[in-house]
Amino acid sequence: MGYITSLFVRFAYFLDASSSYHRAKEFCRTLLEHQHSRLKFYFDIFMVILVVISVFFLLYEVKNPDGHPHLDTFVQFSLIIFVIEYLLRFWIHSDSHKIFLDRYEYAINNNLPFSLMRALLAIVKKKVEYVISPLAIIDLLAILPSYRPLRFLRIFLLFRIFKLFRYARSMKTFTAIITEKKFELFTLAIFASFVIFTGSSAIYIFETNQNPKINTLFDAVYWAIVTMGTVGYGDIVPVTTEGMVVSMILIILGVSTLAFLTSIIVSSFQNKLIELKESRLFAEVDKLEDYIVICGYGRVGEVVAKMLHEDGYKLVIIDNDAEKIKLAQQRGLIGIVADASKSRILGEIGVGKRASQIICATNSDELNVFITLTARSLSKQIIIIARVIKNTHKKKYFLAGANYAFSADETIGLMGAQYISQPISYAALDEMLTENTGVIFDIVTIHEHSCFVNQTVEALGLKEKRLILFGVLCKDNLLPFQFNPTPDFELQSHDMLIIMGRKHHINVLRKLNDKGSAR
Amino acid sequence: MKESKILLFGFSRSAIEIGARLQAQGFEFTCIDNDASLMPRAKKLGFDLRITDYSDDEILIGLGIGEDVKFVFTLFEEDVHNVFLTLSIRSLDPKVQIVSTTHTKDAIHKLEIAGASTVLDPYQICGKRIYKLITQPEIMQVIDATIFGEEDINMEQITITSHSPLNGLLLNECYPTERYNMLLIGLHDKELKKEFVFITEGHNHKLDHGDILVVIGKSAEIERFKMDFSL
């Protein structure tokens, strides 16, 4: 191994081990490429403003060739930014040291000779790939004309406008449409050029000597395109009968070509529009953190969504019924028409990443279990709450990984039976569950610094505060739930008191707990 | 065949759940549906299912409505049946207790107009529970484990009898549950019209015979309490 090669290898390993190098690169990637990063968003806005102002300056220069001192500084500044941006993009396009090391390690591990030249070639190839990509070419053309000797390329400064493509997503969609319909557009272009070629050569042949306006083949092509585009300036008009026939045919063909072109683009746009809307929604979801996914916007989903929405929880609703989703959207919720049983959909809306809980509330056990299973496979942490339709299937939900599963029928059964045997306690149960009268269950967690630590339950004075202590949940006790603790039960920090009472009475207790000083 | 006092119309999933609980508590009841194919299922569960046309008033009278039937459940999957049945039964007997289930929001109001004593909305209940699970998971787990669940902590109502020592006492003075491992949640006063008053409302209450206390606790404790105060 030559001296130079070992130098390269050592340098590559050095880069690979350097955390600051990785951090810097990661930062640049977030800034320039990460679709959903805040940083990129601000950077994009900044670049758009820069581009627009620099183009305006170009227009200003037309009438004021001497320029303006302030604006000149600005142009220098924007140019520097553009150059830096170009170089950064060039840098982050590929990890050269990785390519190098991959090849090197492959050679070492397999006892093959390592060729420095080949490795460098691979690196260069990767970089050239960037340089010849359309957006990079636009970037380059937006910079180059500022270099004095290339002043004649000034018009390319207008390419800066094309730079906007980089920063606006909807512009990208437009390019996507064009590339998607490449085949159709290509066919049409061939047809159009055939027509233009025939038309212009015909007029050239028929009229060159009769018509003083048509002297060169360029005149003929110009005339053919102006006619075909139904513009017809009238600066060149056919004077012979043959010429007139040619123009008539040309106009008809031109109109039909344009009609084709329009229809291709419009139909493609319509398809894309739906996707665009959807991607907007997904982008909205991407901005959320720690939200709840509700699968199925039936009656249950509706009730849950309404209450959670009022409490300020962040929700994402999926249902494959467009009508229902429309309803959800009208209520100000994020709704996506999608099949929740597809793991791709769940992954796209962030189950397994940013979603904290998922509620399976469709009206089919099969679907609910399937969603449960999919969600669990995507994330170990996510809390899954499932609605069981048939009580006999309940076990399957827990097998699939649901945290909570229950059926409404079960509750109905309990309440129905209670209604018959004990109508008054049924009423109490009903009130407790619906909380219509304002008496609620709530949790007060004892802080470390709370004045209640090491106090007895009696010292809380719950009776005077018009509260009932239903029980205490102890974090590290063997017996997790202590129902109705005795008055001398000693409270520890992190104990959770389950309290029944009116909200403001509970808040009094909570404030005392928060204060931390003696009563 | 002995006529039971409870009728369950509609052999649905909720009917099976209610039936199972009633069975466990030793109540006798009859299920009614017009679908004969449900018969084997009912036999398996040990339910008394009758296949008959419930839309006919004659048959309803024949089932004992207006006579000895005290509770009726309408548990059909379709709201139309529930509303119609509720209306028919109410027209035959103004006093019978009718518990209806519903599947759409609009039907709740209709059932109330039709004369249902209580409307159970499974979706509402389900939604509420999910909401509670998200906002206060610990509470829901505790309630599920105790009142709804396997653990021997139940909610019970105790009627004060005329010969009980509690009769005539002020609630704040005696505070009867203090020496028992149970909670007094609230009570129902015979004289007051209001259905149920939570103890946390803080009214000092004079206990009379006929008043009903609602307590939560271990069944053994509740029994002990009942014995001690000869209730």
Residue A421 has pLDDT above 80, yes or no: no
CA distance A506 to chain B (A): 11
Return phi, psi of residue A468, to 5°: -115, 130
CA distance B62 to chain A (A): 22
CB pairs under 8 A between A and B: 199
Closest residue in A to B129 (Cα) is A433
ipTM: 0.79
pLDDT at A62 (0 to 100)? 74
For the ranges A1-5, A78-82, A248-252, which has the lowest average pLDDT? A1-5
Cross-chain CB nearest to B124 (options A303, A481, A505): A303
Is residue B219 less than 8 Å (CB to CB) from chain A? no
pLDDT at B192 (0 to 100)? 65
Question: What are the tens digits of pLDDT across the range B33-81?
Answer: 888 888 888 888 888 888 888 888 888 888 888 788 888 888 888 888 8
Single pTM value for the model: 0.64
- What does the angle CA A177 – CA A178 – CA A183 come to, to the nearest 5 degrees? 110
Tokens of A22: 């990785």
CA distance A348 to chain B (A): 23
Contacts of A292 in chain B (CB under 8 A): 134
* Contact map slice: A 328-367 vs B, CB within 8 A: 357, 359, 361
Residue B181: alpha-carbon gap to chain centroid: 25
- What does the angle CA A147 – CA A148 – CA A150 come to, to the nearest 5 degrees? 75
For the ranges A372-376, B57-61, B160-164, B173-177, which has the lowest average pLDDT? B173-177
Tokens of A121: 């070639």
Among A410, A411, A384, smallest CA distance to A397 is for A384
For the ranges A287-291, A338-342, B195-199, which has the lowest average pLDDT? B195-199
- Residues ≥6 apart with Cβ < 8 Å to A470: A441, A483, A484, A498, A499, A500, B142, B183, B216
CA distance B143 to chain A (A): 10
Give the 3-state secondary structure of residue A356. strand
Identify the bridge partners of residue B186 per DSSP, sorted by sequence position: B198, B214
Is residue B45 less than 8 Å (CB to CB) from chain A? no
- Residues ≥6 apart with Cβ < 8 Å to B80: none
Cross-chain CB nearest to B17 (options A311, A412, A421): A412
Q: What is the mean pLDDT of residues A142-152?
A: 66
Within chain B, how many helices (H) and strands (E) appear?
9, 10
Find out whether A280 and A36 touch, Cβ atoms under 8 Å: no
Cβ within 8 Å, pair A442-B136 = yes
| Residue B2 pLDDT grade (very low, low, confident, very high; cuts 50, 70, 90) | very low
Task: Measure the CA–CA gap between A101 and B44, rounded to whole angstroms.
Answer: 72
Tokens of B163: 């010969």
Contacts of B202 in chain A (CB under 8 A): 466
Question: What are the tens digits of pLDDT across the range A25-72?
Answer: 888 888 887 776 778 888 888 888 888 887 787 778 778 777 677 777
- Is B81 buried (19+), middle (13-18) or exposed (0-12) by CB count in 10 A? middle
Contacts of B125 in chain A (CB under 8 A): 408, 411-412, 415, 433
DSSP code of residue A290: S
Is residue A480 less than 8 Å (CB to CB) from chain B? no
Number of alpha carbons in the 13 Å side-chain half-sphere of residue A190:
5
Cross-chain CB nearest to B25 (options A302, A304, A417): A417
Task: Measure the CA–CA gap between A384 and A378, rounded to whole angstroms.
Answer: 12
- Residues ≥6 apart with Cβ < 8 Å to A503: A438, A440, A442
Q: Can you list the positions of beta strands (E) in A196-354?
A: 291-295, 315-319, 334-337
CA distance A451 to chain B (A): 23
Inter-axis angle of helices A38-63 and A69-92, nearest 10:
140
Find out whether A451 and A516 touch, Cβ atoms under 8 Å: yes
| Residue A223 pLDDT grade (very low, low, confident, very high; cuts 50, 70, 90) | very high
Find out whether A424 and B155 touch, Cβ atoms under 8 Å: no
Beta strands A315-319 and A334-337 are parallel
Among B61, B56, B51, smallest CA distance to B31 is for B51
Percent of chain B at pLDDT > 70 equals: 89
Closest residue in B to A294 (Cα) is B130
| Residue B1 pLDDT grade (very low, low, confident, very high; cuts 50, 70, 90) | very low
Closest residue in B to A415 (Cα) is B18
Find out whether B187 and B210 touch, Cβ atoms under 8 Å: no
Tokens of A188: 């049409």
pLDDT at A518 (0 to 100)? 46
Identify the bridge partners of residue A316 per DSSP, sorted by sequence position: A293, A334
Mutation pick from B7, B31, B98, B123 vs chain A, by most beta carbons of A within 10 Å, is: B123
Question: What are the tens digits of pLDDT across the range B82-141?
Answer: 898 898 888 888 888 888 888 887 888 888 888 888 888 888 888 888 888 888 777 777
Return phi, psi of residue B226, to 5°: -60, -45
| Residue A246 pLDDT grade (very low, low, confident, very high; cuts 50, 70, 90) | very high
Ranges A124-128, A134-138, B38-42, most confident: A124-128
- Is B183 buried (19+), middle (13-18) or exposed (0-12) by CB count in 10 A? buried
CA distance A330 to chain B (A): 19
Is residue A444 less than 8 Å (CB to CB) from chain B? no
For the ranges A77-81, A172-176, A393-397, B16-20, which has the lowest average pLDDT? A172-176
Cross-chain CB nearest to A303 (options B21, B128, B181): B128
Give the 3-state secondary structure of residue A195. helix
For the ranges A146-155, A175-184, A333-342, B96-105, which has the lowest average pLDDT? A146-155
